[in-house]
């Protein structure tokens, strides 16, 4: 398996910053957020198409990977060379994120 480059959109970077701040303020095991997100990014780089399709968007081929230990979905698209993380969103929220094209 070939490892792809993983890139975060500005929106996804903002989500990560917000969610990390919330996690550090509200949760025990503060290192868990960073280690689980890093593991998810490593999985995305190696295993193209992991997770499930997310159909509630106009963005074609959007997928999401559930990061169980922290309760977040990583929303992403990919091609042969690159994975683009488009959002990080709490899985318990009633609606999904707004995804930029």
Task: Please name each of the domains of the chain with its CATH number.
Answer: 5-90 (3.30.2310.20)
- Strand partners for 52: 64
The secondary structure element, H or E, covering residue 95 is none
Identify the CA nearest to 33 among candidates 86, 71, 89, 84.
Answer: 71
What predicted TM-score, i.e. pTM, was given to this entire model?
Answer: 0.93
Lowest-confidence pick of 3-7, 8-12, 26-30, 81-85: 26-30
pLDDT tier, 99 (very low <50, low <70, confident <90, very high otherwise): confident
pLDDT, position 71: 94
pLDDT, position 45: 95
pLDDT, position 96: 79
pLDDT, position 30: 85
pLDDT, position 48: 86
Provide the token pair at 29: 């095991």
For the chain, percent of residues with pLDDT exceeding 90: 73
């Amino acid at each position: 398996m070939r490892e792809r480059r993983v890139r975060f959109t500005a929106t996804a970077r903002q989500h990560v910053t917000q969610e990390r701040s919330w996690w550090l303020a509200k949760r025990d095991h503060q290192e868990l957020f960073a280690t689980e997100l890093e593991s998810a990014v490593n999985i995305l780089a190696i295993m193209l198409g992991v997770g499930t399709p997310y159909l509630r968007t106009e963005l074609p081929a959007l997928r999401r990977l559930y990061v169980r230990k922290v309760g977040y979905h990583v929303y992403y698209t990919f091609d042969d060379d690159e994975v683009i993380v488009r959002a990080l969103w709490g899985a318990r929220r009633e609606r999904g994120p707004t995804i930029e094209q």
